[in-house]
Structure 1
Amino acid sequence: MMTVLAGRLDVRTRSFSVEEVPTPRPGPGEVLVKVEAAGVCLSDVHLIDGTLTPLHLSGDAVTLGHETAGVVAEPGRGVTRWRPGQRVLLQAGEERDGVVWTRGVDYDGGWAEYAVATESTLVEIPDDLPFEQAAIIPDAVSTPWAAITATARVEPARPVGVWGVGGLGAHAVQLLRLVGAAPVIAVDPVAEARERALAFGADLALSPDDPELAARMRDETGGAGPAVAFDFAGVPAVREQAVRCLGRGGRLVLVGLTDKPLTVSDGTTFSYLQQQVLGHYGSADEHVEQLVELTRRHRLDLSRSVSGVLPLTEARQAVDRLSNKEGNPVRLLLKP
């Protein structure tokens, strides 16, 4: 039996290892993709540590990885759109019977030498877009893009706050500048992250521990406060601070995930100022397609987002580096 390497998680024991598995075969309407790059996300870390659990997985083990790019190796029966050699990325999930399934969570993902994908979940990428950059568009870039354009509907020349400048937040800063938000104010406790936020286009970067944070935000926004505050950290204290900084009619958009309660300490002021809290999760197919087009047109540069590339055999080390924030990475990539 032909085998390939894959990064597998046993969801019962939360044990993770890179091991030999049977070479996957594409079924009708599916495509076999030779993986060239796969992103390492905090969601992968949370799957391994037990914070997240697959909802629809059939079986006890899954190949991780929902950010994947590669080359078409073999179209399955009935597939006419895709041919061997085409450069593609894979959407981070798909809808099955009205339910969203996530790649690398509910079915096998891209931490492998080869991955199988439904033909409709492939997106062709331009020849000059490196696989390492293409791989992170689903989720790392598309999640903040969807939060900005679809959930928050950010308007040009309106002030915005970004709490948490990690893998998602760093891209949010870059994308907010792209859509014309101004000023863009980043908040992060790590000095290196604040420096990165400024490099990615933030107008101001503050520490959440700054006792003058709210006052400095008001000064930067002409006394108005942010029209939109994005929480990319998933930390209750962040959310409470962001609400206190919001302006009249301001919206708090929750992108970072947490199982902790959401509290608004001053409900009267929140209501008086007609503020809102909006939940956000993931992105839709069109958001990924929009971002690919923006990279094709050279409107979006993702070269600074690749913090390191490790071989697939060192997937465990990549997880540990991200979990420990070693080097404060935007995205680490695995290459089979």
Structure 2
Amino acid sequence: MTDPAPDVPATMRAQRFHRDTRTFAVEDVPVPVPGPGQALVRVAFCGICHSDLSLLDGTFPSARVPEVVTQGHEASGTVAALGPGVGGWAVGDRVVPAAGRPCRRCEHCRRGDFPHCDDLQLMAFAYDGAWAEFTVADAAGLTRVPDDVPLEQAALLADAVATPFGAVAHTAGVRVGEAVGVWGVGGVGTHLVQLARLVGAVPVIAVDLDEEVRARALAVGADFAFDSRDPQLREKIAAATGGHLLDVAFDAVGIRATFEHSLAMLTPGGRVVGVGLSGQEVSLGSTLAFNLSRKQVLGHLGYRNEDIGVLVRLLATGRLDLSRSVSGIVSLEDVGEGIRRLQEHEGHPVRLLVQP
């Protein structure tokens, strides 16, 4: 390991999740030492994501989680030390670490196709995350953050923005002029709206239960915002699209109602992309109706590491504005309060950050 920054201590504070009791607490633990190809990152900010909450409520299959793990996977910070064999980085560099690492054992990894790893290791689930003062990351998964990009906004990129980017740019392949709808305009949905507009979707239609959330969707770029309970929703979407309905619908909630509702609003040949996650089952209706409509159903998860670099450039050039996305900052000791606010939708947060 290269010489660490002079102020790296021997121990650190970390918010640790205990699998057997499904509880979490701030504990003093040793500062990790980066191994070959790794970097130690001093955490500046780390997001609180709904997938972090899934460990607490049992949605995530915890059998794959260590007995004790540090949560948090949307991080930004500075390099504090480098492991053996790491080049191109220096102590003090501003970075975003990727929220996962390839297994390096499967068929895809053996031939260097890391984006299609069969057993991707998720940060904060398979290994320690960044609700801590320091975290270890693969140097190959780091993205450089220029000085003019706030680290608060950079922290959002590792999932809250990169996952919607992957859904828009890769899974859906949204094309200029296509009509796009977004069901559920929370943390992920807000960024789906912004990114769909950025790539040229017209119109971009937000669908949500809450009036305040719909107003925020309009403020960040939606052309229309409709109440999902409106019995005239189909007619309103048809009017907004000149009778065409939607080419692409993103379900950012992931429950049966939003998935089937968004599927029903597609034009023939349109595609629905599932981004939100839940344990609920969905129906496509009869195979006769589904096949005749030529609709497509696409599942989406995550992003490519290079997507974070694209998003950093969009932020740095002012093409993407995330100033409204940081809804609050809490300390490590107050993570529980942040979780409560997210669970209860207090203030309708886009993303709450932890500052160690």
TM-score, normalisation: structure 1: 0.97
Match of 1:7 in 2: 15
Moved over 6 A (4+): none
Whether the 8 Å CA contact 1:252–1:276 is kept in 2: the answer is yes
Match of 1:25 in 2: 33
Whether the 8 Å CA contact 1:73–1:84 is kept in 2: the answer is yes
Superposed CA RMSD: 1.3
State, as a whole percentage, how many aligned pairs show the same letter.
Answer: 47
Whether the 8 Å CA contact 1:226–1:250 is kept in 2: the answer is yes
Superposed CA deviations along residues 49-73 of structure 1, whole A, max 9, x for unmatched, are 211134644x301100110100111
User: Aligned ranges for residues 243-258 of structure 1 at < 5 Å?
Assistant: 243-258=263-278
User: Aligned ranges for residues 90-239 of structure 1 at < 5 Å?
Assistant: 90-96=97-103, 97-98=105-106, 99-239=119-259
Cα distance in 2 between the residues matched to 1:243 and 1:177? 20
Match of 1:64 in 2: 71
Q: Give the secondary-structure state (helix, strand or coil) at the position aligned to 1:218.
A: helix
Pairing 1:47–2:67 present: no
Cα distance in 1 between the residues matched to 2:223 and 2:141? 37
Superposed CA deviations along residues 162-219 of structure 1, whole A, max 9, x for unmatched, are 0000100000100111000000011000111101110010011011100000010011
Pairing 1:77–2:80 present: no
Match of 1:34 in 2: 42
Cα distance in 2 between the residues matched to 1:333 and 1:283? 21
Pairing 1:275–2:283 present: no
Q: Judge which range, 316-325 or 19-28, deviates more.
A: 19-28
Superposed CA deviations along residues 233-256 of structure 1, whole A, max 9, x for unmatched, are 011011111111111111111111
Q: Give the secondary-structure state (helix, strand or coil) at the position aligned to 1:136.
A: helix
Q: Give the secondary-structure state (helix, strand or coil) at the position aligned to 2:164.
A: helix
Q: Letter of the aligned partner of 1:23 in structure 2?
A: V
Pairing 1:334–2:354 present: yes
Whether the 8 Å CA contact 1:67–1:139 is kept in 2: the answer is yes
Match of 2:331 in 1: 311
Q: Letter of the aligned partner of 1:191 in structure 2?
A: E
Superposed CA deviations along residues 2-59 of structure 1, whole A, max 9, x for unmatched, are 32111111112211111111121112221111100000000011111211134644x3
Query: How many equivalent residue pairs?
Result: 335
TM-score, normalisation: structure 2: 0.91
Cα distance in 1 between the residues matched to 2:336 and 2:266? 40
Q: Give the secondary-structure state (helix, strand or coil) at the position aligned to 2:353.
A: strand
Q: Letter of the aligned partner of 1:13 in structure 2?
A: T
Whether the 8 Å CA contact 1:11–1:53 is kept in 2: the answer is no
Q: Give the secondary-structure state (helix, strand or coil) at the position aligned to 2:34.
A: coil
Q: Judge which range, 258-267 or 128-137, deviates more.
A: 258-267
Whether the 8 Å CA contact 1:18–1:315 is kept in 2: the answer is no
Cα distance in 2 between the residues matched to 1:119 and 1:40? 23
Match of 1:88 in 2: 95
Gaps of 5+ in 2: 1-8, 107-118
Whether the 8 Å CA contact 1:67–1:136 is kept in 2: the answer is yes
Cα distance in 2 between the residues matched to 1:72 and 1:55? 32
Whether the 8 Å CA contact 1:55–1:106 is kept in 2: the answer is no
Q: CA deviation at 1:267?
A: 4.2
Distance of aligned partners of 1:107 and 1:244 in 2 relative to their CA distance in 1, 3 Å threshold? same
Cα distance in 2 between the residues matched to 1:213 and 1:142? 29
Cα distance in 1 between the residues matched to 2:309 and 2:63? 26
Match of 2:5 in 1: none
Cα distance in 2 between the residues matched to 1:103 and 1:6? 14
Whether the 8 Å CA contact 2:144–2:309 is kept in 1: the answer is no
Superposed CA deviations along residues 254-280 of structure 1, whole A, max 9, x for unmatched, are 111122112023543332221111111
Cα distance in 2 between the residues matched to 1:245 and 1:268? 18
Cα distance in 1 between the residues matched to 2:158 and 2:281? 28
Whether the 8 Å CA contact 2:59–2:279 is kept in 1: the answer is no
Gaps of 5+ in 1: none
